[in-house]
Homo-oligomer: A and B are copies of this chain.
Amino acid sequence: MRAKTEQPGRQGVLDAAAELFVAHGYAGTTLRQIADVAGIKAGSIYHHFASKQDLFAAVLEQGIVVMVEAFDEANSAAVTAPDRLFAHVRAHLGALFENGPFTTAHVTAFHNAPVEVRESAVDRRDAYENMWAGLLADLFPRINVKELALHRLILFGSLNSTIEWFDRSGNLSLDQLAQVVTDQFLHGVAS
């Protein structure tokens, strides 16, 4: 079992890095491991990225891009309030499970990464959260902003934690998962 050459060049390094950062964290991943998966030698990474931190920042960046694109696409997908919410929940889960490990890196590797790298991504993460805040304010005009922020954070927790247990090859589809989360968010389990 040796190096798997998936994609050449810069994107190949990014793919390998994202996968390994998600699995073993920032400090737990070595440049030699990344290079091995990418099918090159460790020193060659520096042709594409200035440092390990720079590489990780690029992974986070691509993860945000995937999320924002998914959100934008979901925006023009539904009309009624519950359907709009479902579409965005489904989009977020899609970013986590259907677009490679880039978005996932924000959940599993972000917290333990060095401060400098985290700060480089904070602005774009905030922007994404604000898109959600705007959406929820639109859908639930009767709930005040402060309480709505709480509900949003709780929802985010549910969504992001799915990567710890959800199995795409199981008998529950992503659509069904999105439906369960949306229903629970809207009506709770007691309904």
Inter-chain CA distance A147–B183, complex, in Å, is 12
The answer to whether A186 and B189 touch across the interface, beta carbons within 8 angstroms, is yes
The answer to whether A187 and B181 touch across the interface, beta carbons within 8 angstroms, is no
Residues facing B in A49-89 (CB within 8 A) are none
Inter-chain CA distance A23–B156, complex, in Å, is 21
Picked from B27, B28, B153, B186, the residue with its CB within 8 Å of the CB of A161 is: B153
Inter-chain CA distance A185–B181, complex, in Å, is 11
Instruction: Fill in one digit per residue for A148-191: 1 if any B CB lies within 8 Å of its CB, else 0.
Output: 10110111111111101100000010000000110111111111
The answer to whether A154 and B143 touch across the interface, beta carbons within 8 angstroms, is no
* Dominant SS among interface residues on chain A: helix
Residues facing B in A125-157 (CB within 8 A) are 140, 143, 147-148, 150-151, 153-157
Inter-chain CA distance A188–B155, complex, in Å, is 11
Given known pairs A24-B27, A25-B25, the reply for A191 and B187 (CB within 8 Å) is yes
Q: List 11 A-B contacts (CB under 8 A).
A: A25-B27, A25-B28, A25-B112, A111-B164, A143-B189, A148-B189, A154-B184, A157-B160, A157-B161, A158-B158, A161-B161
Task: Give 6 nearest A-B pairs by CB, closest first.
Answer: A157-B161, A25-B112, A27-B28, A188-B188, A27-B27, A187-B188
